[in-house]
Structure 1
Amino acid sequence: MTSASAVLPSRPGRPSWGGRNYTLLTAAAVVTNLGSQGALIAAAFAVLESGGSGGDVGLVAAARTVPLVLFLLVGGALADRLPRHRVMVAANALNFLSQGAFALLVLAGEPRLWQMMALSALGGVGQAFFGPASEGMLMSTVRGEDAGRAFAFYRMAMHGAGIGGAALGGALIAVLGAGWVLAIDAAAFAVAGALRAFLDVSHIPARAAGGGMVSDLREGWREFAGRPWLWSIVVQFAVVNAVVAAAEAVYGPLVARDELGGPGPWGFALAAFGAGTLGGAFLMTRWKPRRLLLAGSLCVFPLALPSAALAVPLPVAALAGVMLLTGVSVEVFGVSWMTALSQEIPEEKLSRVSAYDWLGSIAMVPLATALAGPAQDAVGRTPALWGCSALVALLTAAVLCVPDVRRLTRRTTTVTAGAPLGSADAEGAVGRLG
């Protein structure tokens, strides 16, 4: 597989990987993140302003998550079967329509809970098809020695837009109301879809005729299950993401209310985490760890620290420091992980593998957040938080026992996608396992 940046050269003054497709993908991601982060806040306020309870807010959020989990694997298979940019544009169109209808309901007054749940569910369907297509498109666009730097800049742009979007969304809700912020998000999906329609996929080989959707899913599973480093880390993060979400979404606000002086200190800590993600992404534009997954997995250990800090609990300044370090660590892992996937997974299977990765990352989050309250009632908040911390540390230590996780190294030359590492094409590669 020829590197995409070689086929679609960048303009003078841009880095070698900063070609047309990469620029379009990054710009579209910034636009959608600016809108979506504010819309998350707006959706919650829309439910509350319509007379709903905190439980109703949770139902609307769950209505988005359930179809996301159900359709992810189908979305991944479809994105590897069709041109990925078409799947992305179609998903953006669905999100534009669902979020636009949500905005109209709120602006018209007195939206019903079932209506908001249905429209949120449509948004989840769109995300299920968009996510694997988007990751597959990005990883097929930038492959080779500079992929890690490109992914780091992409993630830095996304995080910056997310932080700005949350701040801007909160301010606009106060001035304009939740309905208009939802309408802005719908417009952002339209703009992003238009940008993605101009992506050039001529560098991607035409898909060979397959044996149907079930056959595609089975082939994706074989690719996923046949790589111990891949499935072991996905299993690890199925639990890690779940317990981190429980700690930060449920226990964090409770500790802030009871021990730290209210929501302000917790918001400050979360802002520190956001700043850390920006710093970590910037770090990864400069640093290229040779042992990708070893470096990334070692940086998962700090994810145990926020739960421990809340269990103590640490003073606000120390908690913010812990969250800043955690944000940096998350990005070191995230960029290393994306680089490993781009390097090791054949181009024509990227979206299916990405779908299994997404599924593992989110499937247990709703269960963990739902059980956080009963766990606190059963054993107490402090032991529950220490348990979250211990699970992160133990699972990360277990993953480091997998030889392929410790040995997988960064390649210094681009290998044909799908070629076995022992092939003639890979003889000059540094990235051979073992």
Structure 2
Amino acid sequence: MSDPAAGSSAVAVPDPMAAFRPAPPHERTPERYLPSPSPDPWYSSPPVVDPATAPGTILDSRPVTIPPHNMRNFGRGWQVLVQSTDSHDRPQQIVSTVIEPATPWTGPGTRPLVSFNVTIDSLGLTCMPSHVLPHEFNLELPPFLQILADRGYGLVVTDFQGPKAAYAAGRANGRAVLDGIRAARAFVPPGDPGPLFADSRVVQVGYSGGGIATGWAAQLQPVYAPELTGVLVGSSVGGVPADYSELFDTLDGTLGSGLFLAAVLGIAREYPELYSLLNDAGDVAAHALRDSCAAANTAAGIFHTPLSMLTDVDPRTDPVVAEVLARNRLGTADPTRGADPREVPTGPVQVWHGDAAAPIGPGPGSSQGPGDPFVPEWTARQLADEWCAAGADVEYTPVPGEHILAAYTAVGPALDWVDDRARGVPFTSGCR
């Protein structure tokens, strides 16, 4: 005879389909779509900080080691927890990795500092460079970081997407880069008599998602970090999607749709009004992808998922979408959307891009490159033209290849340009 109480202690069986069912409306809060907690206590339980703490202030530090498979000739390294500011002027904390390579600096003056802004392109906190560089084998970096270390530059690598992993949220990303630079210049290693990079020239470089952060840091610097005028002596901006509204035809529903969707979800973390536009399928996708890294986001493009599957409004014409995209448009500052007309790069800028005008082979008559099919080269040329018109000094550099290959074909011209700025070589070319 069965025990009628036996069923009361039965263990509930998890629903294997729960992740594929939309949440009821009352559960669709912005928190549902944020990344899972990080194993890093600086992310999972950050210290309580006075909101009035100045951006760039170092809140904590710890030593870090980067293994040889991610950086040979690693010398000394530290991670710093830094006060920063999100897109809406609210305080938040970011993490930066500061590296003094074993390679000595043989150029003029003190060792320069390069802010290398990684192509993070991710939605999860374990995808951030502060976690990946010391703990994982990094497959997502072109050889920029290693070459920079081999040339003897000091390095700062900032988790510029911040505690919400707000991929493609330009204003917050750019502010984080600037605060990482501030912190690296102020940081005094334990036992050292003073800061490593207080007197260093500073140059920054980044591609694609890292190009977003680099471009915004250059544009915001004169207003957000005016003390870096004359210190930030160059910004090399590669493969940057300057105007997201121009990418619907080339990314939405194409092989680039995975990264496009990730970027939209990343921006929504800074502008949660976008979440109200999700339908049931969009709710499931935003929750399921909340921890996805760049490789998975890139691979998801094979499904060619259009945004129209995830919302019941037309994202090309919806006024909420248009307003958010306009606020994250690089180039001519728009005062009607909160931009300051002084937001114009003060130091020289190199804009480089996979361009159909770039020759593939040496000599006259060589065939031309395919150009970037996802972020059209005309958008990068337009960004350079707008910055020039606003008074910046900009050089446009076409490189062979499409969006992936251009990250590698540009290594030479981009890092040679960075090297010239770091060594104090006068910038003689630029806006025509």
Please state which structure has a larger fraction of its residues in helix: 1
Please state which structure has a larger fraction of its residues in strand: 2
Same fold, TM exceeding 0.5? no
Bigger RCO of structures 1 and 2 (CA < 8 A, at least 6 apart): 1
**TM-score, length of structure 1 as denominator length:** 0.25
**TM-score, length of structure 2 as denominator length:** 0.25
